[in-house]
Amino acid sequence: MFYKKILRPILFRAAGGDAESVHELTLKLLTLLSRVPVRFAGDPSQARTLFGVRFPNSLGLAAGMDKNGVALPAWAAMGFGFVEVGTVTWRAQPGNPRPRIFRLPEYAALINRMGFNNAGAVALAARLTEIGTPPLPVGISLGKSRAAPIEAAAEDYCASFRTLYDHGSYFAINVSSPNTPGLRTLQDRAQLGELLAALQGVNRRISHARHRSPKPLLVKIAPDLGDAAISELLGVCADHAVSGLIATNTTLSRVGVTDHPRAGESGGLSGRPLAARALQVVRFIRREVGPDLPIIGVGGIFTPDDALRMRDAGADLIQVYTGMIYEGPGIVRKIARALA
């Protein structure tokens, strides 16, 4: 209640109301807090193991919040069971011009067109090396550098994967962001097959050389695909032994927010308006793939009940992002306990 009634209004008005400036300030504070030694003690009853990774609990922070992995200890202290950093690209890039994050508070939603702004794979690898053993599992979301043509996408993703290989508990292959031109075409059968074949080739070679199991690769999909397209994508994922799916990314749809003055902004919509569609996609995937392939459900998770509905739809793990911005960090432990 303190966050929603007092702190959130202050944050939303800070920096002239610019959402990205507030985000950057928050990350700076969390980075400072991450330098304070803290002992992390999770509840063993909340832990579970999926694709060879032990998660202290089932709630994670979605990619996009901590692109460069600067505040991992702070996220652990909040109670997250895992964090997905990135999306990171092989080349450092500034992303799209600002402003590029827009709040729709009446609908508990955000529109963003960040464009994979990040310091690059080499810088992230150096930071994670400096941190050492992280306090919780770290997923790494990989994306295509804007400067890389689509026909060179596989090479671009593989360069990041090789550089970050030792640092990721799992790797999310982001082919579904609406904010990099042409990226979503990588969800097509031929292009996704080529990309996954290249990544799994790197995966096998490195794991064999180091006498380790291959890294889990998960594919993150768009909520705007129809059932037939999702089925085709799932077939490609099965052909290339993908370890799981992340459903879903942000949406280009403006259903439910069309009357908002910001609805015309380009970019991906997240938050409450995405919840129903994200649930539909997770249910569909679970029916298609059966009980064994892990699914990370993300989209419109604001409360423990939202998370439980996502789990009932078929998700094994849950991620939040926009929900924490609107509800505050207090939701983390509440949702984690509910999922236990």
Catalytic residues: 177
Q: What gap in Å lies between CA 273 and CA 39, rounded to an integer?
A: 37
* Residue owning tokens 């992303």: 95
Q: 84: helix, coil or strand?
A: strand
> Which residue pairs from 63-68 have beta carbons closer than 8 angstroms and sit at least 24 positions apart in sequence?
63/87, 63/139, 63/141, 63/172, 63/174, 63/220, 64/112, 64/114, 64/321, 65/321, 65/324, 66/27, 67/117, 67/118, 67/119, 68/118, 68/119, 68/123, 68/124, 68/127
Chain centroid to CA 63: how far? Answer: 3
Query: What stretches of 107-182 show up as alpha helix (H) in DSSP?
Result: 121-131, 153-164
Q: How many CB atoms lie within 10 A of CB 198?
A: 17
Burial 60-76 (b: 16+ CB within 10 A, else e): bbbbbbbbbbbbbbbbb
Per the DSSP assignment, residues forming a β-bridge with 93 are 118
Q: Which residues are CB-neighbours of 99 under 8 A, at least 6 positions away?
A: 18, 19, 20
Q: How many CA atoms lie within 13 A of 15 on its CB side?
A: 12
| CA distance linking residue 315 with residue 288, whole number of Å | 13
